[in-house]
Structure 1
Amino acid sequence: MMMTRFLAALAACLAGLAPLTAAAQTGPLRIEITEGVIEPLPIAIAPFLAEGGAAQALADDITAVVRADLEGSGLFRAISPNAFISPITSFESPVQYADWKAINAQGLVTGAVSVSGDRITAKFRLFDVFSEAPLGEGLQFAGSGDAWRRLAHKIADQVYARITGEGGYFDSRVVFVAETGPKDARQKRLAVMDYDGANLSYLTDASTLVLAPRISRDGRQVLFTSYDSGFPRINLLDTGTLRTRALENQPGSMTFSPRFSPDGGTVLFSLSQGGNTDLYRMPVSGGTPTRLTEAPSIETAPSYSPDGRQIVFESDRSGSQQLYIMPAAGGEARRISFGPGRYGSPVWSPRGDLVAFTKQNQGRFHIGVMRTDGSEERLLTASFLDEGPTWSPNGRVVMFTRETAGAGGAPALYSVDITGRNLKRVPTPGAASDPAWSPLLD
């Protein structure tokens, strides 16, 4: 078992808790939680071996993506291959643990890649250097030639999960609004990419304004707000065929802020009619909308709990923009935000324990998280304009839009973990906003 001080600290960070003195079983590890501040785990990622000459370039590429995934999480520090004492020359060779201990590696990843026609096979092993034992069984993944990045992400997810005890988030995609043109005449279209900015493609053209994409749990459909009719209306896009249709039976002049139910069968949204904005739901296939709120205030930005039983949303019913939770079928709502400033765009964590939100206070915008009862509010960012959080599949990282000030200001995507660490920009080819993170891919 790994019993290092690093892993004790890592567990405290991953739990998102203050330091504790307790023992906790997390996946394959037995961890004593004793600290709350950590340094990245030193891990050796040996260059993946090419089993056949045709696989060398792919082996190098897969190694690079695995390293980038793990280091990008902020929890791992990949030791430079220049420091390695004994190179891995065979996937089946015994590990010389003393050589890896000498460079202070706490974990070791080895792998190999082979190519057969248009099929790639990538396999890996993870070793606990200090206990001198494998950490789980070796695994292999196979796919077509253009899926090599997914194979690398899957390997990184497995390494992440075995060491941290929680699921990974690397094999996932992000739908967002790609923006071009000057600030006062922006053109916007929907785009989709890997979580790290690779493999970008466009889902719509720039012929009409699009906002607030939301991706279904299976990744096959995207809800978004379109102005193609002259008013905001909710459209549904099939990511396989790229066909788009307006949801049927949208009464009133404006519908917006759509969100899928966890099972993907229902759309939750805001509808503005007669000067009033309330929450509604309706089947994705169409049908009669069901009204969930009836108040003279503005209710918008709804988000389901992972079990589909509750909804968090923003409302100004108390006189300022605040967060509320109510049963998914409607009913009495309870306020959960009580700090200074205004709160909006709440999103329920896929783990069910937290709500992410946008906060505006004293001229600054923040991305924050709080418990579902409103306790333990934590602001993760602060800038001229941060808004629109979306959760990673494992509920560990939040992605959002950050816009810079001034006439030349433009939006970009950023991510930060729920401790407020590891703030970084997500690469996109141009201005970008409104990210929506998918679950892990099948």
Structure 2
Amino acid sequence: MSEDFLKVALAAKEAAAELAPLPRAPKDAALRVIADALVSRAAEIVAANALDVERAREGGLSEYMIDRLRLDVARVEAVAEAVRQVADLPDPVGEVIRGNTLPNGLELRQLRVPLGVIGIIYEGRPNVTVDAAALCLKSGNATLLRGSSSAYESNTVLVRIMQDALAGTEVPAGAVQLVPGLTRDSVKELMRARGLVDVLIPRGGASLINSVVEESTVPVIETGVGNCHVYVDADADQDLAVEILLNSKVQRPSVCNAAETFLVHAAVADTFVPRALAALAAEGVTVHGDDRIAAYGDVVPAGEEDFSVEYLSLDIAAAVVDSLEDAVAHIRKYGSGHTDAIVTRSVSASRRFVALVDSAAVAVNASTRFTDGGEFGFGAEIGISTQKLHARGPMGLPELTSTKWVYTGEGHLRTGAGTVIASCAAGAE
């Protein structure tokens, strides 16, 4: 482990211990100071970002990706406003999840506590640097940030500004750290920092997430990859189905909760598929269809890989299925466990679909685009977990905590015969 990495990791670990017991007020105050500092130093941020954009353009990065990378004053102000919104959210730390008094008189409580040091590996957008730091700080965690090399200048300045802002608050400045280095070696150091880092959260494409999951010795919360489906049932309202399909695919195709496949029950294929193909074509969507879909119009022939891919573009795969169970089998085979939707007027069909589909979110007569921390009313999210342990679905502030059991007695002692109360605690002289 390099000295540079060890230095920031130890600083984060020390800061996490100081940050964990802080009440809400100093954390909220620190977040508002960070927001003000981002706005007042926006010119510095934009100048650093311009270097990243220039280097990205020279490297042949697409204009779409460059737009994700770019920061201007308006975008910096929007990032600062997001930090203020995090400050306004309830603090999960210290919340009593459950508690009771045991028959022996012990008072038992399960409390939310910070995870500790959270490492975040992410691609592209430098706004994630601030968003992630703010969410971790609010939930009492220190963070080690490893963004993409394409945003290194931007991320360096953003972290420096946040640390400078924290220096004048009760929150330790070491709570926000940037992992040094531009090579994959620095990513590996973060993934192997067991004992210094409590959990890793990768945010990005499938290759990044798979690499972190497979190579990390630090526990990982898997997030992000979304091969989402819309299933149009035999008893669907077809007008509604077209609207839900279009919104799921077209409203913002480059995000993880956009639909990547639609499935149609054979009983309504003759009427629905031509309507769906026409509606998608009008929005510029390319359909990759199986043989049964191809019978209704001009589509790109779909193979196995077409149903497995997360397009993140105006492309969608499509297939006709013979039953709800066949639709579920398709989703189980190709889906990523993110979000899958059914459109139906049948209560029994919707209940069966919900029971059978094993995904982080299941939508009934609604767009897949609603799987989002903000849409769910969480206020903000660190990502969308597609795994089953610790957290699943949109990860808001509570999902950035663990728990601690606290039990309080009056000199309770456990003996072979049961529980006794020590005489000194019972008031004896």
TM-score normalised to structure 1 length? 0.30
Which of structures 1 and 2 has the larger relative contact order (alpha carbons within 8 angstroms, sep 6+)? 2
TM-score normalised to structure 2 length? 0.31
More strand by share: 1
- Larger Rg belongs to: 2
